[in-house]
């Protein structure tokens, strides 16, 4: 408040100094627009008659000629309020007389005579004012000049000439008025040009009367982060009732802490209920708490208001005595509750306390993901808000999962550890045994890693593959017999056997892969042309033709060996064909592939092979087309032996085909056991290391089971290159 007063004062002085210009008689009365830094734009104002001048000259009539007789002249001088008039005589020459009885210049302030002058500078009598100026007590001065009619020396007296000027009056040093109204200013008086200002000591403020001072309440709003407040006049009790309000208001997000000094004294009344702040009190009010009235002789010390706005109302009445109080306040950032922990995650930074504008971050442990409201989030931060609450609730860390592992065709997987595809779960792939086995044969284990991908224990494994198990039927034929001279094959013993129905005609084939059937070329040729694939029906997994009720498998494409050329049925060289199936087969105990020959596989003379088919069978010396799958075991015949047999047959018969190195023979010299019509394309299987492999394809023969003749089979080992190529390219 003191500062404010000073500022006010300065402004007053500026205005006062401008009044000099305002009252300049040469410029006349002016109105000025005051700009900053004393720059002023002044415009002449019409000069009112009554406006007082700042200075002037008063002279006797006809001065410097002698003044005429019988004069009675009066001048009423005035200067602006707040000024005195200083009158200085430049010359005075008036007829001298005792008491200036005849001619005189009388100077009056209202009715009070300040001087009565006559004579001249060197005259012995009269009353000459000399060089001493006359000062009026106020802003007025009256001059009265009189002369009589009788003066012998009149021609010698020229009268007077005087100058007057306005002099600033120091109101402050003026004695206290006698009317008992007290001093001009109760505390500090500051003289100004033409006026004065009152001001107050620290802790006081000027009353509306602009004279007296009262204890300051401080008042106003304290918005600094810290400050000092005290009761009016502290530590002295105020002389009268006070009712002061102080408001501390800082940015939201901060709380105000009051720290009362030890010297605390507010009158408290002893009532039946104990001490009570009945007449004097300091009330502390915050937005969300009950107001608190303080009084007594003990300092409340530190009060944490938990609010950013605090109102203090100090009230006393005219009675009683309170010395008052003093406090320092400071502000603290609002505190948020400890955020707590996140299971399987980390909250950072870890602090003992968290305040407004503090951030925390949550990260999940490896293998866990951040979840908020059931949604996964990339990252998480939350801030301590100005209301002391975190702006977001803590997230949760949920274990990640890798999703369903790639399914394995003809296989499956088992969890070695973990479940629900969760992080660190370990799954092992397996193929559906005994029909499939893992490519490479190694146990492939996949682990759900932190990047949510299933990763294998073996770097090179991209994805496991199940390959069919070949040549290993779930049941083995215990007694080998024959087709011509054979027996019915029990179920599941020759699961690669295919019954071919081509345009109504019966033939055989063998499953060599989940999409491939191998047969004889002559089965799928008619009149020098390949049969249309639509006419080919394949039945698998049966041992009885009647169970043809099972739906047939259809061909997607037929691939006859390019060098098969047998227009007259006398050249069965290259009698081999492959049929691609429309849909791959899933293997089971009744349908399984036969192995293709291994590299370097040989046909050892005398080694027994297994021939099978639904072809012609001999019963009671009659040949009938069997409805049951038959099989017979026949040995590999020496090529030389076979060749001789065919050469001799050619002598007695026409149109006997020739034997080539792409063929081999199987059978017994005495006959009685053989494949026959309808078996063509079927398998001749040799067994090595417990696996049956496709050594031959039933191709041709001279009659069936004839003595001295053998069945002729396509030598499959000669076609591996073509078979592999065809299967790869289609
Ligand atoms: N070419 C006959 C057929 O189409 C197969 C003859 C087999 N003959 C033999 N004696 N092994 O069914």
32-85 pLDDT tens trace: 333 333 333 334 444 445 667 899 999 999 888 888 888 899 999 999 988 999
- In terms of Cα–Cα distance, which of 172, 185, 231 is closest to 5? 185
Domain boundary among 399, 425, 443: 399
Q: Give yes or no: residues 239 and 300 share one domain.
A: yes
Ligand 1 cavity residues, CB under 6 Å: 615, 674-680, 698, 700-701, 704, 711
For residue 682, the CA-to-ligand 1 centroid distance in Å is: 10
pLDDT the model gives residue 456: 85
Q: Give yes or no: residues 68 and 125 share one domain.
A: yes
Q: Give yes or no: residues 328 and 340 share one domain.
A: no
Contacts of 187 (CB under 8 A, 6+ apart): 198, 199, 200, 201, 204, 213
Neighbours of 344 (CB within 10 A): 15
With respect to residue 202, please indicate whether it lies within any of the assigned structural domains.
no
pLDDT the model gives residue 206: 87
pLDDT the model gives residue 156: 77
- In terms of Cα–Cα distance, which of 207, 205, 235 is closest to 220? 205
Q: Give yes or no: residues 309 and 375 share one domain.
A: no
For residue 616, the CA-to-ligand 1 centroid distance in Å is: 9
With respect to residue 263, please indicate whether it lies within any of the assigned structural domains.
yes
With respect to residue 478, please indicate whether it lies within any of the assigned structural domains.
no
Annotated binding-site residue? 328: no
Q: Give yes or no: residues 547 and 695 share one domain.
A: yes
Which tokens go with 418?
């973990």
CB 422 within 8 A of CB 397: no
pLDDT the model gives residue 441: 72
For residue 148, the CA-to-ligand 1 centroid distance in Å is: 186
Annotated binding-site residue? 640: no
Neighbours of 421 (CB within 10 A): 17
Atom of ligand 1 nearest to the CA of 711: 11
682/523 Cα distance (integer angstroms): 10
Q: Give yes or no: residues 16 and 80 share one domain.
A: yes
Q: Give yes or no: residues 37 and 158 share one domain.
A: yes
pLDDT the model gives residue 42: 36
- In terms of Cα–Cα distance, which of 527, 523, 524, 696 is closest to 615? 523
Q: Give yes or no: residues 133 and 262 share one domain.
A: no
pLDDT the model gives residue 240: 78
Query: Which CATH number is 455's domain given?
Result: 2.10.70.10
With respect to residue 375, please indicate whether it lies within any of the assigned structural domains.
yes
Listed in order, strand segments (DSSP E) in 531-601 are 536-540, 553-560, 577-581
With respect to residue 492, please indicate whether it lies within any of the assigned structural domains.
no
pLDDT the model gives residue 625: 79
CB 170 within 8 A of CB 191: yes
With respect to residue 679, please indicate whether it lies within any of the assigned structural domains.
yes
For residue 554, the CA-to-ligand 1 centroid distance in Å is: 24
pLDDT the model gives residue 27: 38
Annotated binding-site residue? 317: yes
Query: Which CATH number is 709's domain given?
Result: 2.40.10.10
Mutate which of 482, 615, 626 for ligand 1 pocket (most atoms within 8 A of beta carbon) = 615
Annotated binding-site residue? 103: yes
Element (H, E) at 328: strand 326-333
pLDDT the model gives residue 105: 94
Annotated binding-site residue? 148: yes
611/692 Cα distance (integer angstroms): 11
Q: Give yes or no: residues 555 and 692 share one domain.
A: yes
Residue 437's domain comprises 411-468
For residue 712, the CA-to-ligand 1 centroid distance in Å is: 8
Q: Give yes or no: residues 537 and 584 share one domain.
A: yes
pLDDT the model gives residue 26: 39
Mutate which of 649, 673, 680 for ligand 1 pocket (most atoms within 8 A of beta carbon) = 680
pLDDT the model gives residue 125: 82
Whether cis (ω within 30° of 0) applies to the bond prior to 8 is: no
Active-site residue numbers? 522, 575, 680
Mutate which of 677, 681, 696, 713 for ligand 1 pocket (most atoms within 8 A of beta carbon) = 677
With respect to residue 179, please indicate whether it lies within any of the assigned structural domains.
no
pLDDT the model gives residue 618: 73
Domain boundary among 282, 305, 333: 333
Domain boundary among 287, 313, 333: 333
Total of domains in the chain: 5
Taking CA atoms only, the protein residue closest to ligand 1 atom 11 is 711
pLDDT the model gives residue 53: 83
Q: Give yes or no: residues 223 and 113 share one domain.
A: no
With respect to residue 628, please indicate whether it lies within any of the assigned structural domains.
yes
- 44 backbone dihedrals φ, ψ, rounded to 5°: -65, 145
Specify the length of the chain in residues: 730
Residues of the chain with pLDDT under 50: 1-48, 480-482
pLDDT the model gives residue 442: 72
Can you give 391-449 as a three-state secondary structure string?
A: CCCCCEEEECECCCCCCCCCEEEEEEECCCCECCCEEEEEECCCCEEECCCCCCEEEEC
Query: Which CATH number is 105's domain given?
Result: 2.60.120.290
Neighbours of 661 (CB within 10 A): 9
Q: Give yes or no: residues 327 and 423 share one domain.
A: no
Atom of ligand 1 nearest to the CA of 709: 10
């Amino acid at each position: 408040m003191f500062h404010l007063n000073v500022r006010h004062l300065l402004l007053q002085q500026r205005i006062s100094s401008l009044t000099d210009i305002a009252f300049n008689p040469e410029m006349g009365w002016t109105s000025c627009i005051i700009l900053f830094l004393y720059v002023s734009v002044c415009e002449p104002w019409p000069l009112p008659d009554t406006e007082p001048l700042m200075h002037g000259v008063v002279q006797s009539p006809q001065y410097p000629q002698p003044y005429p007789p019988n004069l009675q002249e009066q001048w009423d001088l005035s200067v602006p309020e707040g000024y005195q008039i200083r009158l200085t005589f430049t010359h005075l020459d008036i007829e001298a007389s005792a008491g200036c009885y005849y001619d005189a210049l009388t100077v009056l302030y209202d009715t009070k005579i300040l001087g009565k002058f006559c004579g001249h500078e060197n005259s012995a009598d009269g009353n000459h004012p000399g060089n001493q100026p006359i000062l009026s007590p106020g802003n007025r001065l009256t001059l009265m000049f009189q002369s009589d009619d009788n003066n012998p020396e009149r021609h010698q007296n020229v009268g007077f000439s005087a100058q007057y000027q306005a002099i600033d009056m120091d109101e402050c040093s003026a004695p206290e008025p006698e009317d008992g109204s007290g001093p001009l200013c109760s505390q500090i008086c500051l003289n100004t040009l033409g006026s004065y200002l009152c001001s107050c000591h620290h802790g006081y403020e000027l009353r509306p009367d602009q004279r007296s001072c009262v204890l300051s309440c401080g008042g106003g709003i304290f918005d600094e982060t810290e400050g000092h407040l005290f009761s009016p006049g502290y530590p002295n009790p105020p002389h009268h009732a006070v009712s002061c309000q102080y408001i501390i208001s800082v940015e939201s997000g901060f709380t105000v802490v009051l720290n009362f000094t030890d010297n605390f004294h507010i009158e408290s009344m002893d009532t039946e209920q104990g001490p009570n702040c009945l007449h004097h009190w300091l009330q502390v009010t915050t937005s969300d708490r009950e107001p608190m009235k303080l009084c007594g002789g003990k300092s409340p010390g530190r009060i944490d208001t938990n609010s950013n706005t605090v109102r203090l109302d100090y009230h006393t009445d005219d009675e009683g005595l309170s010395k008052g109080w003093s406090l320092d306040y400071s502000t603290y950032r609002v505190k948020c509750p400890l955020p707590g922990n996140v299971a399987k995650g980390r909250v950072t930074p870890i602090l003992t306390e968290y305040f407004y504008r503090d951030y925390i971050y949550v990260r999940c442990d490896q293998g866990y993901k951040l979840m908020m409201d059931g949604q996964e989030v990339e990252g998480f931060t939350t801030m301590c808000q100005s209301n002391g609450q975190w702006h977001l609730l803590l997230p949760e860390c949920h274990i990640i999962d890798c999703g369903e592992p790639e399914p394995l065709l003809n296989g499956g997987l088992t969890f070695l550890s973990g479940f629900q595809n969760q992080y660190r779960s370990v799954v092992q792939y397996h193929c559906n045994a005994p029909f499939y086995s893992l490519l490479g044969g190694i146990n492939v284990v996949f682990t759900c890693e932190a990047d949510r991908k299933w990763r294998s224990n073996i770097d090179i494994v991209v994805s496991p593959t199940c390959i069919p198990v070949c040549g290993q039927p779930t049941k083995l034929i215990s007694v080998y017999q024959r087709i011509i001279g054979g027996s019915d094959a029990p179920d599941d013993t020759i699961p690669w056997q295919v019954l071919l129905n081509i345009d109504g005609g019966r033939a055989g084939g063998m499953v060599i892969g989940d999409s491939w059937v191998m047969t004889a070329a002559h089965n799928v040729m008619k009149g020098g042309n390949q049969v249309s694939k639509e006419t080919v029906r394949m039945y698998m997994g049966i041992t009885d033709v009647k169970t043809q009720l099972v739906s047939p498998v259809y061909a997607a494409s037929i691939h006859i060996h390019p060098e098969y050329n047998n227009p007259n049925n006398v050249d069965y060289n290259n009698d081999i064909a492959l049929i691609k199936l429309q849909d791959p087969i899933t293997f089971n105990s009744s349908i399984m592939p036969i192995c293709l020959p291994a590299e370097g596989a040989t046909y050892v003379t005398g080694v027994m092979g297994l021939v099978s088919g639904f072809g012609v069978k001999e019963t009671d010396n009659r040949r009938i087309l069997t409805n049951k799958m038959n099989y017979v075991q026949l040995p590999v015949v020496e090529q030389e032996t076979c060749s001789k047999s065919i050469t001799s047959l050619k002598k007695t018969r026409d149109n006997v085909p020739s034997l080539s190195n792409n063929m081999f023979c199987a059978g017994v010299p005495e006959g009685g056991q053989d494949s026959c019509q309808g078996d063509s394309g079927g398998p001749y299987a040799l067994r090595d290391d417990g696996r049956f492999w496709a050594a031959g394809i039933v191709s041709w023969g001279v009659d069936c089971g004839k003595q001295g003749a053998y069945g002729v089979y396509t030598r499959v080992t000669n076609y591996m290159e073509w078979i592999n190529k065809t299967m790869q390219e289609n």
